Amino acid sequence: MHVDSAAATAVVEDLHVWESGGAGSPKALGEWVAARLAAHEAALAALLAVEGRRSAENSLRLYDAAIEQLALAGAQAGILNSVAPDKAVRDQAQMEAQRVAMAASALSLNRAVYDALVAIDVDGADAATRHFVSRTLLGYRLAGVDKDEATRKHLQSLHEKATGLSLEFSRNIQEGAKTVPASRSELEGLPADYISRHPAGDDGNVTLTTDPPDMQPVMTFAASPALRERMFLAYNTRAYPANKELLEQLLATRQEIAAVLGFRSWADLATADQMMGSAANVRSFLTRLDGASKDGARREHEMIVDFARGRQPGLEEIDITSRGYWYEQFRRAQFDFDSQSVRPFFPYKQVEAGVLQTAARLFKIGFRPSSAPGWDAAVSVFDVIEDGEIVGRFYLDMHPREGKDKWFSAAPVVSGVRGRYLPEAALICNFPQTTESDPGLLQYSDVVTFFHEFGHLMHAILGGRTEWAGLSGFATEGDFIEVPSQMLEEFFRDEKLLQAFAKHYETGEVLPSETIRKMKLAGAFGRADWVRTQLYYTTLSLDLHDQDPAGIDLDRTARSLYQSLQPWTWIEGNRMYASFGHLTGYSSNYYTYAFDKVIALDFFAQFDPADLLGCDAGARYRKTVLEQGGSKPGREMVRDFLGRDEEFEAFSKWLNEEFEQQFAVHSS
């Protein structure tokens, strides 16, 4: 049978599912994904039909076309699963996402495809192509492609089961929002614009939700311990009890996969192709993190407790629901900084413009509103411009909607391939909504989050001009992926950069330098506690995947681990594991955030603090890191930019030396 290789690698015309009606029609969505999967299968058939000597051009090109179609279907089904306004479409999108995952699982265990890739002659190929082939073959071996047919079928069924459990776990979090009643008096301490957005009902009470724009201010500003506790428990039980059983099943399934493949635990399997290399190396890193943060966290805790007891005589302890509130009160008293005071300088629209302006100057590109449609009327679309040409596109879906994913994330839309597709990516966030009567004021931590997510977006766009779809954008090791996001968020600390867009929404006053100085001091206080929190999440994700799941009691594990790593009193009824969404994506590898923070701070230290956006480090960083996409191992990209491996010095300074400055301020 003749197989048309040219047709199998043809450029897709209907590139966006929402332009084919898929955002509003389950049927159209299913048909669009089916077309992508058919194109995927056609490319694989063409690959297997190649006769004679296999080369990158006649074989790898076809394999890349196959995974290009799979990535396109998976990315856009995943987006609609997270954001589609119509629940029927979200349900269909979840089914389609599982269908794509099943196809990916089948591909990872396809021995004929593996043999075809092994046969490719890469002598004389460039380094990126050789890396692509080497990494792909490693992925196949870790999937179990070299096992017998019966074992491969068993592994495929296990992967499909794990995918289904993960999707259901995530959906329960996404659609599990709860409401929290509150009396008007319990809103004491919250910002005036927040209170005005929540008018009292006929019974005199207000109704809050567990969505981040409602939840986060309560945990930071609300003077009422009872309200904070109700909000905390509602937020951390919004997917309980359903997700407890799902997580138990998921852990057991993952462990069975690891055992079939000959690994001691899922954690060892999940780190085998990462920068870290093994669960044992992760534990060594966590030991170092523990030692670096323990003393600072102890001193912070003592200072907060002493302060709180001075304000509230008779207070014996501070529980997990009050930690954020007392940190805020301490910062106000000791650093003369009230985080509410800067909110008027951060209306959403100004922050969006400021983040775009910063990225444009740093990476020497431009952004222009696009006429291209998004999946919802609330989505803003921008073209990325360089040398007068459109080189990419991104979508901003930035405010809460019913049924929409409740977190903050970046997602690929189209994997860019040089000469074939422009890279496209999206931000899916939940910042306060701007209206005619409400400027949508952000907390300064929200602004940091915006910078963070935009770092991911720039990675997807600037790394989206590789020759191979399999190397495009985010396609690095999973434990390198948070470096660009955490590096860009550090730019928020720069005074000149901040004053370019932080202006009072009513008066136009620029955020004063003295306020910025206080904000930086106050914001730096609590870093040791942040590290301990990361240590808790990281150790929990690792421990759950590094032992026999049959012996795990989720409630006991979450509580005992917290009590061993955190000084704040645990509160019964906390089921945080049931809404810990990263357990599906990162699984055992949540250490990525802390590990990449070390790298990101070392990267940021290479920029000239007097000219962050104009120094040559920005161009070097773009060329050696972002533009590479996944064309090199993360370790090589670190060495290319730094001239060495990452060091702990910048992280230690960020964590400890600045703490010493705040400690000195407090003591004086």
- Each domain of the chain, given as residue ranges in start order, spans 5-108+110-143, 177-236, 344-528+592-667
Q: How confident is the model at residue 657 (pLDDT cuts 50, 70, 90)?
A: low
Average pLDDT over residues 280-293: 97
pTM of the model as a whole: 0.95
pLDDT of 359: 97
Kindly tell me if the per-residue pLDDT of 665 is higher than 80.
no
Beta strands at 205-209 and 366-369: parallel, antiparallel or unpaired: unpaired
Name beta bridge partners: 98: none
User: Is the bond preceding residue 241 a cis peptide, omega within 30 degrees?
Assistant: yes
Q: Annotate 394-443 with DSSP letters as a single string.
A: EEEE-S--TTS--S-EEEEEE--BTTTB--EEEEE--PPPP-SS---BPP
pLDDT at 15: 96
Given this model, what pLDDT does residue 5 score?
A: 81
Predicted pLDDT of residue 552: 97
- Say how far apart CA 312 and CA 321 lie, in whole Å: 16
Residue 4's pLDDT band (boundaries 50, 70, 90)?
confident
Q: At residue 144, does pLDDT exceed 90?
A: yes
Distances (CA, A) of 324 to 327, 446, 523, 526: 5, 15, 12, 10
Residue type for position 271: T
C-beta separation of 218 from 227 below 8 A: yes
Q: What tens digit of pLDDT does each residue of 443-492 get?
A: 999 999 999 999 999 999 999 999 999 999 999 999 999 999 999 999 99
Note the pLDDT of residue 199.
94
Q: Give percent of the chain above pLDDT 70.
A: 98
Beta 380-386 vs 409-414: how paired, if at all? Answer: unpaired
CATH code at 5-108+110-143: 1.20.1050.40
Res. 273 pLDDT band, cuts 50 70 90: very high
Res 663 pLDDT > 90: no
- Distance between CA 236 and CA 559 in Å, rounded? 13
Mean pLDDT (whole number) for 51-68: 97
pLDDT of amino acid 16 = 97
Q: Please, what is the end-to-end C-alpha distance for the chain in angstroms? A: 84
What integer pLDDT is reported at residue 100 of this predicted model? 97
CATH code for residues 344-528+592-667? 1.10.1370.40
Nearest to 520 by CA among 488, 487, 494: 494
User: Does the structure show a pLDDT above 90 at 3?
Assistant: no
Closest to 363 (Cα-Cα) out of 12, 141, 618, 24: 618
C-alpha–C-alpha distance, residues 596 and 481, integer Å: 8
pLDDT band at 596 (very low <50, low <70, confident <90, very high): very high
The average pLDDT across 218-223 equals: 97
Determine the average pLDDT of the residues in 249-267.
Answer: 98
- Whether pLDDT at 660 is above 90: no
Check pLDDT > 60 for residue 659. no
Owner of token pair 């968020």: 489
Q: Which of 300, 295, 297, 299 is nearest to 326 (CA)?
A: 300
